[in-house]
Amino acid sequence: MTVDIEGVTLHLAHPDLLPVKWVGQEELMRQLLAAWLVVSEEDVPMNPRLLGKPGVGKTTLAYAAARRLGRDVYILQGTLDTRPEDLLVTPVIEGAGKLRYVASPLVTAMITGGVAILDEGNRMSEKSWASLAPLLDARRYVESIVAGIKIKAHANFRLVTTMNDDASTFDLPEYIHSRLQPQIMIDFPERDEEYHILKENLPFAEEKVLEYVTEFLQHAHAADESYTVRDGINIGRFAIKLKSLATDRRHDTESLETAITQTLGEEALRYARPVRPVSQ
């Protein structure tokens, strides 16, 4: 799909289709949808940022919220090497001396009225963020130096940034920080919510596997470990695969403990031992 802006043809990105579902923590969903809400003609949507440890479901929440609005979703992964043109428009050589201008997922969302998820935004440098400054306030546009055009955001365009709460990220400059509001914190889910998240992602798991992994995660959370439900899903999935190749019932526990060790390391077993199922 292409569009013409100021005489320049832009080739648009395709939306992302993910088989995800947000389970529990409806208050977080309410806060995100409220930030995107426009309450009058003079109002503009806010640009929230979702902050939390890796694996707590920030991208899942953002994607599920966008789908509740019935919008296409475009995900752009932020990295240390992300350049302004990666965020906006990238020139690609096409044929003899001819350039093809490719819109990023973010710019595609701007043009089509979709939702852009800027994933792990605090891994990007200030130079990249500076190119988005006019998009993040009432102006709602970006300027592509490469293509020589100004691109205005569709009225339905929404933006959300996810940010990991860890040491491998940049501090945002204040003029960007103040534009990415509100900040919505995502913490570890409560026990029942964590169980239902596991069940949603592991519909083929036996009840005892779901209970085991849930208790393991809850013990880890209580000790302030950074293990997340994503880790739990990987543990459960690997344990089920290991068990499928075993015949002895004692392999139930062995498969789960092996999965924990191979996923998180042997030190993680300290949180599994209090919840080992009784051997049959």
Give the DSSP per-residue string, 176-205: HHTTS--EEE--PPPHHHHHHHHHHH-TTS
How far is CA 211 from its chain centroid? 26
In angstroms, the CA 197 to CA 45 distance is 30
Average pLDDT on 98-127 reads: 94
Residue 278 confidence (pLDDT): 42
Helices 229-244/251-264 angle, 10° precision = 140
What's the predicted TM-score (pTM) here? Answer: 0.85
How far apart are the C-alpha atoms of 146 and 91, rounded to whole Å? 7
Which phi-psi region, left, alpha or beta, contains residue 113 (left: φ > 0; alpha: ψ -120 to 50)?
left
pLDDT at 279: 44
Cis preceding linkage at 173, omega within 30: no
Express as a percent the part of the chain with pLDDT over 90.
74
One-letter amino acid of 147: A
State the Cα–Cα distance between residues 238 and 227, nearest whole angstrom. 16
pLDDT over 80 (residue 262) = yes
pLDDT reading at 170 higher than 90: no
**pLDDT score for 82:** 93
| pLDDT exceeds cutoff 70 at 218 | yes
How far is C-alpha 17 from the chain's CA centre? Answer: 13
Indicate whether 53 pLDDT > 70: yes
Give the model's confidence band at 149: pLDDT under 50 very low, under 70 low, under 90 confident, else very high: very high
Q: To which H or E segment does residue 119 belong?
A: strand 115-119
Paired residues of 142 in beta bridges: 151
Residue-range domain boundaries for the chain: 2-185, 191-275
Side-chain-side CA neighbours of residue 127 (13 Å): 8
Residue 140's pLDDT band, with cuts at 50, 70 and 90, is very high
Whether the pLDDT of residue 46 is over 80: the answer is yes
Distance CA 201, CA 189 (A): 15
What is the rounded distance in angstroms from the CA atom of residue 31 to the CA atom of residue 40? 18
Give the least confident one: 56-60, 94-98, 148-152.
Answer: 94-98
pLDDT over 70 (residue 234) = yes
Measure Cα distances from 51 to 110, 183, 258 in Å: 23, 7, 31
Look at residue 33 and tell me whether its pLDDT is greater than 90: yes
How large is the average pLDDT for residues 232-250?
A: 84
Residue 250: which pLDDT band, with cuts at 50, 70 and 90? low
Choice between 31 and 226, residue whose per-residue pLDDT is larger: 31
Q: Are 277 and 239 in contact (CB under 8 A)?
A: no
CATH number of 2-185: 3.40.50.300
Listed residue (160, 149, 234, 169) closest to 197, CA to CA: 234
What are the b/e assignments for 34-62, b being 16+ CB within 10 Å?
ebbeeeeeeeebbbbbbbbbebbbbbbbb
Q: How far is CA 16 from CA 13, 57, 63, 112, 162, in A?
A: 9, 17, 9, 14, 16
**pLDDT for the residue 167:** 61
